[in-house]
Structure 1
């Protein structure tokens, strides 16, 4: 083993005075933490002028070098595809004279070292690491050819993982596109469907019970009360729950069942009124009072139609603007407001065709999700092997 400081020197950056307009909106890319998170950094949110470089501690880093965050998103890194200045929250890794270090190897090393770096972060509000922490990061001995070989293996494994993840995202986009093709924009209703209050489409809204659970995954003999985050993303996440001992339950539970539509009635303005579909029975989980099960009226509507209707950004905004609450961070949609929401109502047969498509795509998506998890596990295993004992030839 060696340490990172034996291979590279660290170069920091800075920020030109914000109150000097002539230093900003120039021609020089200026990278900060918010620009990282991609393996190859080709552009930045902000740009500065040559005068901004002269008036600050920033430095222009040549393309091909790795930059890494030492504050906030500690360890997040990217390879510069363009010459760029950096701010004070980043460090550029510049190979020492006579040292050849493959940038992709460094990128994967930093990705594998996030826990090491975060554990050594300090700060009361914004966490950060000192330069010596980064300089003392352990690095396995590997010559340049070996670094390149390891980086190539990890790049290919990561590409497989990313492509499978992208395929899952494309399926969701496919369903959104199919919804608009079949039913049109629900706000403008160009197909002229009859419009009715949601209360005429919904048979019932079933609220759960908010138990005092423990912040951990439930044991086999325990129940789990879902957190609002189980619904927020639009995809049901059964692992987002708190453990509840069976002996503490003294009421009838609302458990998620295959085909259910769940609705989050309370959250921030951006996240309230989130919905998701449940793909399998979860008898050991139950809903809190902040999540409702939306029961459709038979022969009138389907849960997939309601899910994509309520998830349409502008239609959902019509509902969220009715949310109330005294807190600026947590708002609530009442059952009355949801039932009063005016909804376009296409023929049930057309809704059923869409529902069949949704469930078919979700079954395929589940297979892709398993494959994506397998690819992620393989990538993690390869990374662990590469930076502990090295990958086999």
Structure 2
């Protein structure tokens, strides 16, 4: 028989730990120290269990920073900022630490199976429970009061197994879509040829002739609890997509907004980065207003060209190789 119970009665909650910069960057140690970006990276790679981590610490450091040790089979997630809205979840596989932008919830095994609880958490939109502030955030005291349906363990195992199979199917189709994306890129070359050979004899021109406006983003630093989301070079992927899993915030005067905000259809170009990453570009395809960081150029094109076409060209091997030569 199933019944509804409060999360606070059937789970143990874990808070994050402040992570001083002087202890960051170690790739080996007793404890992985998960940040929001680590959770996002694992989820984006298709991992339910946290497999990759960028930072490790040893026991001495954990004691020095008064770290809260989070056990295995704990569901962890971002509790503040834009990442909260993405609803990404991961399961810990060993004793670890989480930073103070992350919360962990471990189900009590006499009530909940970890697989069932994980999928239930993935279906829980935490934004609905966030505080009414500029920056979304959730509190333990509010989450503890959420009701969860608790079937018997056998039924939970059956549900988790079914959802595992569905997830595997979804992952398979995602990989097929990635192959289709590669096919689209190949089709682009097939239709328009390989520049600069131009075997199709298409009309050519200079990029500046199809551009209506070019602006740099803001050079102002990101701030905690800023008014606006801050779009940085790390939010543009190498293959021409937006990745908003790790968004900072910024405060900026109203009179500067027009020159450094983005709108749907803007082409974003990463002007400064490592040699192999400079020149990353994508189309901003959202309606939400964001402020652009200074290492990214905002390009607005004329009606002679679609922004998607320009980005497809900029992401060809030729364009990227040209960028690496400059």
**Which TM-score bucket, shorter chain as reference?**
0.5 to 0.7
Aligned to 1:107: 118
Correspondence for 1:93 among 90, 105, 130: 105
- Taking the TM superposition and a 5 Å limit, the aligned residue runs for 1:93-242 are 93-96=105-108, 99-114=110-125, 117-122=126-131, 124-176=133-185, 198-199=204-205
Asked if 1:312 corresponds to 2:321, the answer is no
Correspondence for 1:45: 54
**Alignment partners' CA distance in 1, 2:282 and 2:90:** 35
Rounded to whole Å, the distance in 1 between the matches of 2:320 and 2:303 is 16
**What is the CA distance between 1:137 and its match in structure 2?**
1.8
**TM-score, reference length from structure 2:** 0.58
- Match of 1:2, SS state, is strand
Query: Gaps (5+ residues) in structure 2?
Result: 213-238, 242-263, 271-279, 286-299
**Structure-1-length-normalised TM-score:** 0.49
Change (3 A) 1:198 1:82: farther
Question: How big is each residue's C-alpha offset from its partner over 1:366-392, in whole Å with a ceiling of 9 and x where there is no partner?
Answer: xxxxxxxxxxxxxxxxxxxxxxxxxxx
Matched residues in 1 for 2:319 and 2:201: separation? 13
Answer with 1 or 2: which has the greater Rg.
1
Offset, 1:164: 1.5
Match for residue 269 of structure 2? 269
Root-mean-square deviation (CA), in Å? 4.5
2:18 — aligned with what?
A: 15
Tell me, in whole angstroms, the C-alpha distance in 1 between the residues paired with 2:190 and 2:59.
Answer: 50
Gaps of 5+ in 1: 208-232, 236-263, 277-288, 296-302, 323-393
CA contact (8 A) 1:265 1:291 kept: no
Aligned length: 239
Partner of residue 37, structure 2: 34
Counterpart position of 1:81: 93
SS in 2 for 1:127: coil
How many Å apart are 1:85 and its aligned residue? 1.6
